[in-house]
């Protein structure tokens, strides 16, 4: 009977340690800043833009994210180690009557570089004028 009580006490202690250990780990993760980029056009957030982070202009995407209704694209996974700077590629995923102008955005991205997110976790991309084309005429 004493063996059962000791086993039960040991299991209770182990469960408490595991539970508190998991809670502590989840708090640590939530305290880490999430790497994100806010896409802005004419001072307004722009949703449905896929942002691809690359090491070189002709290289593969290291990671990507899509901007939400607040214009924020949150990267779930980041490369480690991070490059000294990121080259950016963007494309529109919107079916809301607009599209990114490839020519304007292409030239813009050629010169755009982002810092490592370990140095600056939240960055802003302000798109230049004429970067967005309407697909339907306005009245």
d(CA 101, CA 132): 6
Contacts 24+ apart (CB under 8 A), 40-45: 40/71, 40/124, 40/125, 40/126, 40/127, 41/126, 41/127, 41/131, 41/132, 42/129, 44/71, 45/69, 45/70, 45/71, 45/72
d(CA 114, CA 83): 10
Query: Could you read off the pLDDT tens digit of each residue along the chain, which spans 139 residues?
Result: 555 455 454 444 444 444 444 443 333 333 346 899 999 999 999 999 999 999 999 999 999 999 999 999 999 999 999 999 999 999 999 777 899 999 999 999 999 999 999 999 999 999 999 999 988 766 5
Cis status of the peptide bond prior to 81, with omega within 30 of 0: yes
Q: What is the pTM of this model?
A: 0.72
């Amino acid at each position: 009977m004493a063996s059962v009580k000791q086993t039960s006490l040991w299991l209770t202690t182990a469960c408490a340690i595991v539970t508190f250990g998991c809670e502590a780990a989840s708090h640590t993760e939530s305290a880490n800043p999430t790497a994100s980029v806010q896409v802005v056009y004419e001072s307004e957030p722009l949703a449905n833009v896929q942002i691809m982070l690359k090491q070189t202009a002709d290289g593969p995407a290291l990671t990507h994210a899509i901007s939400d209704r607040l214009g924020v694209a949150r990267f779930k996974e980041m490369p480690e180690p991070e490059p000294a700077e990121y080259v950016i590629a963007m494309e529109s995923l919107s079916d809301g009557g607009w599209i990114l102008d490839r020519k304007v955005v292409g030239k813009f991205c050629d010169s755009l570089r982002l810092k490592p997110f370990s140095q600056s976790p939240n960055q802003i991309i302000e798109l230049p004028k004429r970067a967005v084309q309407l697909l339907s005429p306005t009245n």
